Amino acid sequence: MPTGSGKKFFITTAIDYANSTPHLGTAYEKIGADVIARYRRLRGDDVYFLMGNDEHSLNVEKRARELGKDPQAYCDEMAERFEATWRRLEISYDRFIRTTDEVHKNAVRKFLQAIYDNGKGDIYKGHYEGWYCVSCEAFYQEKDLAGGNCPTHGTKPEWIREQNWFFKLSKFQDQLIEYITKKNPGFIQPEMRRNEILNVIRGGLQDVSISRAGVKWGIPLPFDDWSVAYVWVDALINYITGAGYGTDEERFRKTWPADVHVIGKDITRFHCIIWPALLWSAGLEPPLKVHAHGFVNLQGAKMSKTLGTVLDPVEVAEKVGVDALRYFLMAEVPFDRDGDFTWERVQDRCNADLANGIGNLLARTTAMIVRYQVGIVRKTPTVREASESFINNSHMGDALEGYRRGMDEMLPSRALEQAWRIVAALDSFIAARKPFQIAKDPARADEVADILYVCAETLRILAILIQPVMPGAAASIWSQLGLPGSVDAQRIDSDLDFFKFPEQGRVTKGDPLFPRLEILPPVDAK
C-alpha cells in the first residue's frame, strides 16, 4: 500500500489465468504498467502497484486435472513461475495477489453480500440460456459471435442453459453514459476504446450472470452455497481486495479508487461497463481511469495460447537482454494500439538505438573523461556557456516537456522519442565539437573539460529518463559516471536541471552498455 507522503497512485494490471505460463503479449502489459509505476515514483508519487493471478478459472482446474494435480497445488506452482518471470523482467510490483488467497475469498463474499443486501434488487435469480465459450469462460450473444464462433478464439461456443444469479446491469445504462461523457470524460483511454464502449452502452445493456451452478472450483456465493462466483466477477474484485477491502478499511479509504487499471483491449466491457456498475451497487467509487492497450502481434499474426503462437518473454530476454526487450516493446509498440514483434525489428532497433546510440555515447564519453581528465568531470568558469549553447541547440527543454507529457498520458513510446532526441543531439554535439581532436592542444584543456561536462551531464539526465524503461541500463550509466546515490532515488521534477553533475566522484569505463545483437543469420545464409 502507499506509505509515503507523495500523491497516492494506485495502478493495477489484469490478473492472468494460471492455466499456462506468461507469453510476450502478457509481458507487454506488465512492462508497460511497470514503466508507468516507475515513472510515477520518479515524480515522487506514493505508488502502489498490484498484479496477480486469476486462479478460479475452469480452464485452470481442467489443466490441473490433465496433469494429475490438485488444482490448488497446481496454482501454487504456477504462481511461483509467474512471479519468477516478472522478477526476471524487472517488474517492480508491490503486491502479487491470488484469487485463492483467503483475504480475497472473504472480500468477494463481503462485496457480493453488500450488493445482495442493498435493498434494490440488483442481484436476482433466473435462468440463463445462450452461447458459452469455454476458453473465454464467457457468455456471448448471437450478435457478438463472428461467423458463429467466439470472436477471440475462433472456436464454436457451447449452448448452455442453467440457473444463475444475475446482476441488474441494465439499470445502470444512463449512469454509465453520464459518468463517461460528463463526470469523468477521461475514464477510458485511448479515445477509440471510449467510443467503442459508449456505442455498446447506447446499444442497450442486458443483465449479466454472476454465478455458475454446481461448480466446486470457485468461491461460493454468500447467499447460495450451491453456486460459485463467476470467474470474471471473482477476478474484478481482486482490485479492491488488494486495496484493503474487507481487511483494512482505513487503508482501503486511502488507496481506493484505483488511479488506473491497465488492461488489454479485449476485456474493456468487463472493466468499463460491468465493474463500475458493480461498484456503484455496492456503494463504492469506480476506478478513475481504465487504459486499454493493444496487442503485440508475432510477425503480423495475433499471439494465441490456444493456437500455440506465442513467445516466452524470458527466452526472448535471455537472447537480447532484459533492458533491450523492455525498450523494444515500449518503443516499438505504442501503448494505445497494436504493434508487431519480429526478430528483424528487434535486431535493427536495438542495434541502432541502444548499441550505436546511447551505449556508444556512454562508452565514448567515459573513455574521453578517463583519458583526458583522469576520470574527473571538471566545472570550468566557461562551462555554462558551452552547456547553454547545447541546451538551446538541442531544444532540451521541449524534449523534457514532451517526455513528461508522453509518460503522463501513458504513452512510453512518445516519451522515448523525446529522450532519443537528446541522444541524437548529444551525438551531433560531440561530432561538431571534436573533443578528441582539440585535446591534442594543452592550451585548450578547459574547452575539452566544458565539452565533456556537457556529455556527462546529459548522460546523467538520460539515465533518469530511461530508468522507468531500462532500470538496469540506467543504474549502469549512473555507476560508470561515478554519481552518488541511486538513479531510482532521483526526481523528474527537480533532478533534470542542468549543472547538477557533482564535482566529486570518478568516472570509470565499464563493459559495453548494449553489445550489438546478432540474433539473425546473415542475409546470404543458405
- Domains in the chain, start-ordered, CATH in brackets? 343-489 (1.10.730.10)
Strand-pair partners of 49: 11
Count the neighbouring beta carbons within 10 Å of the beta carbon of residue 7: 13
pLDDT value for 3: 46
How confident is the model over 455-485, as pLDDT tens digits?
A: 999 999 999 999 999 999 999 999 999 999 9
What is the pLDDT at residue 1?
44
pLDDT score at 519: 76
pLDDT digits 0-9 by tens, 204-232: 999 999 999 888 999 999 999 999 999 99
Average the pLDDT over 400-418 and give the result.
98
pLDDT tier, 305 (very low <50, low <70, confident <90, very high otherwise): low
Asked if the model's pLDDT at residue 69 lies above 90, the reply is yes
Q: Which residue has the higher pLDDT, 421 or 303?
A: 421
Apex 94 CA angle, 92 and 95, nearest 5: 125
What pLDDT is recorded for position 145? 84
CA separation for the pair 95, 103 (Å, rounded):
13
181's grid cell: 461523457
Q: What was the pLDDT predicted at 306?
A: 63
User: Of 153, 20, 133, whose CA–CA distance to 77 is shortest?
Assistant: 20
Average pLDDT over residues 31-60: 96
Question: Residue 5 — very low, low, confident or very high, per pLDDT cuts 50/70/90?
Answer: low
Name the β-bridge partners of 351. none
* % the chain with pLDDT above 70: 97
Per-residue pLDDT averaged across 336-354, rounded? Answer: 95
- Return the percentage of the chain with pLDDT > 90, whole number: 85
- Tell me which of 151-160, 440-449, 482-491, 509-518 is least confident: 151-160
- Cβ(3)–Cβ(46) below 8 Å: yes
Long-range contacts of 131-136 (CB under 8 A, 24+ apart): 131/157, 131/158, 131/159, 131/160, 132/157, 132/158, 132/159, 132/160, 133/157, 133/158, 134/58, 134/59, 134/158, 135/59, 135/306
Mean pLDDT of all residues belonging to the chain: 93
Q: Give kind and range of the element (H or E) at residue 199.
A: helix 191-202
Say if residue 343's pLDDT is above 50.
yes
Mean pLDDT along residues 414-436? 97
- pLDDT of 133 reads 79
Residue 453 has pLDDT above 50, yes or no: yes
Q: What is the mean pLDDT of residues 394-412?
A: 97
> What is the bridge-based pairing of β-strands 296-298 and 339-341?
parallel
Split at pLDDT 50, 70, 90, the class of 521 is low
pLDDT tens across 229-256, in order?
Answer: 999 999 999 999 999 999 999 999 999 9
pLDDT of residue 2: 47
Q: What gap in Å lies between CA 388 and CA 377, rounded to an integer?
A: 17
CA distance 115 to 208: 14
Q: Average pLDDT of 71-81?
A: 97
Would you place residue 337 in the very low, low, confident or very high pLDDT band (cuts 50, 70, 90)? very high
Residue 523's pLDDT is 39
For 118-154, letters b (16+ CB in 10 Å) and e give: eeeebbeeeebeebbbebbbbbbeeeeeeeeebebbe
Distances (CA, A) of 413 to 90, 302, 350, 352, 402: 19, 21, 14, 16, 11
Closest CA to 1 of 333, 255, 325: 255
- Angle of helix 71-88 relative to helix 313-320, nearest 10 degrees, comes to 20
SS3 (DSSP) at 230: coil
pTM for the full predicted model? 0.93
Q: How confident is the model at residue 129, as a pLDDT? A: 76
The predicted model gives 374-402 an average pLDDT of: 96
Q: What is the DSSP string of 119-182?
A: SS--EEEEEEEEEEETTTTEEE-GGGSBTTB-TTT--PPEEEEEEEEEE-GGGGHHHHHHIIII
